[in-house]
Structure formats: C-alpha cells, structure tokens
Amino acid sequence: MRASARLFADHADLWGRITTHPFVLAAADGSMTQEAFDRWIVADHHFVVGFRRYLGRMLELAPDEPSRDLLSGGITALTPELQLFRDAAMERGLDLDAEPGPIALGYTSFIQASPADGFEVGMAVLLGAERAYHDAWKAVRATAEEHSPYWGFIDNWSSAGFGAYVDAIAATVDRLGGAAVGPPAKRAFSRVVRFELAFWDAVHDGDPWP
C-alpha cells in the first residue's frame, strides 16, 4: 500500500462521514436552505483566504523544486476559485468580512499553523483537505443537475483537473515518505478530517461564540 493510501485507510471510519455528511447530502439533492448556503459561502471564503496564506508558507518551506512547482500551481488555481466566492457573494449581497464563528476560525487557524510542524506534516494536511473537497463535491456532482445554483463550486472541486492535482499531492506524500506519514502527520491528517466535519456541522447548524 502506498504511504498516502495508508493515511486514508487508517481513518476509513472518519473518511466515510465526509461524503455522507448532511451538508453534502443537502447540496446534492437540492434541499439546502438558502441561509445555509449563504453561511457556507462566507465561512468557506474565510477558509480559502487562510488556505492561500498556508500554501504561501508551504511554498517557502518546500524542500525541492518539484514540490515548489506543485504548490505554485495550487496557488495559481486559487485565483479563479476565490473569484467564484467573490462573484457569489456579490450576487447574493453577502458580507465576506463577517466575523467567523469559533469552528471556522479555529479550523482555518489550524491549517495556517500546521506548517510549523514541518513541511511533511503540512503535506499530510494538504492531502486531507483537498481530497475531502474532491470526494465531497464528486458525491454532490453525481446527483446535482448542471443547473444547480452551486454548479460553479461543484465543478471546481469535482473536475478531472482538480482530481489530478489531488493525485499529484498524494504522489508527493509518497515520495517524501517518512515524516509525511509518521505519527505527527497522521495526527494532523486526522485533525483535518475531524475539523472538516465540525466545519460542515457549523455551516449547517450555526457556529456561535459563547
């Protein structure tokens, strides 16, 4: 088994909840309320803003040109992705600077802080976060119609191009080996999956401060 595959195999129970989370199911069958989708746009935009900064730090810490080329490509791909959020917020009159709740802020902060545990740990985080999005939105795509109001987002993360990017991340994790799948990397990977589920709960049900 490839090292990256081991990360998924070791967290199979958690991973199974990614594609069957109520938020994902509601996006797929069209039953999501407009309020929930608006909350998601603002919260996920906050996340992607922090995620681009995390990719910047990963580019700084990357140990060789192939991994820097990979991360550079990831940063480039965020330009149209961020535009999707900006356009959707404009159309819907949403305030993208609205204060995030504790789970949205904590998850985004966790992603941003993760490279301090080493580049390899940061790569395990990248693999978990990107593949979670790919798998979740592929599950949505399978049932959603092309005229879904979320089609731009669905297509962004379920496309073959994004799938190839996730595969390239996994191949880098396999190439790094060692620290990229050691105990700190596994722990970080597990935290990504748990935070992703908590984030969708928060979008679905609210994310209030005490």
Tell me the closest approach of the beta carbon of residue 66 to a copy of itself, in angstroms.
12
Of 30 and 66, which CB lies nearer to a copy of itself in the complex structure? 66
Looking at the Cβ atoms of 110 and 151, the one nearer to a copy of itself is 110
Q: How far apart are CA 210 and CA 199, in angstroms?
A: 17
Q: Which is nearer to a copy of itself, 35 or 65 (CB)?
A: 65
Chain center to CA of 105: 14
| Between 154 and 199, CB nearer to a copy of itself | 199
- What would the two tokens of residue 21 be? 């989370």
User: How far does CA 117 lie from the centroid of its chain?
Assistant: 19
Query: Taking the complex as a whole, how short is the minimal distance between the CB of residue 136 and a copy of itself, in angstroms?
Result: 15
Question: Angle at CA 106, nearest 5°, toward 78 and 94?
Answer: 55
CB of 148 to a copy of itself, least distance (A): 26
**Of residues 88 and 154, the one with the C-beta less far from a copy of itself:** 88
What is the smallest separation between the CB atom of 155 and a copy of itself, expressed in angstroms?
21
The footprint of a copy of itself (CB under 8 A) covers: 49-50, 52-63, 65, 68-69, 71-73, 75-76, 78-79, 82, 99, 102-103, 105-107, 109-110, 112-113, 116-119, 178-179, 184, 187, 191, 194-195, 197-198, 201, 209-210
- Residue the block writes with tokens 């999005």: 133
- Minimum gap (Å) between residue 50 Cβ and a copy of itself: 8
In this complex, which beta carbon is closest to a copy of itself, that of residue 6 or of residue 194? 194
Distance of closest approach, residue 156 Cβ to a copy of itself, in angstroms: 17
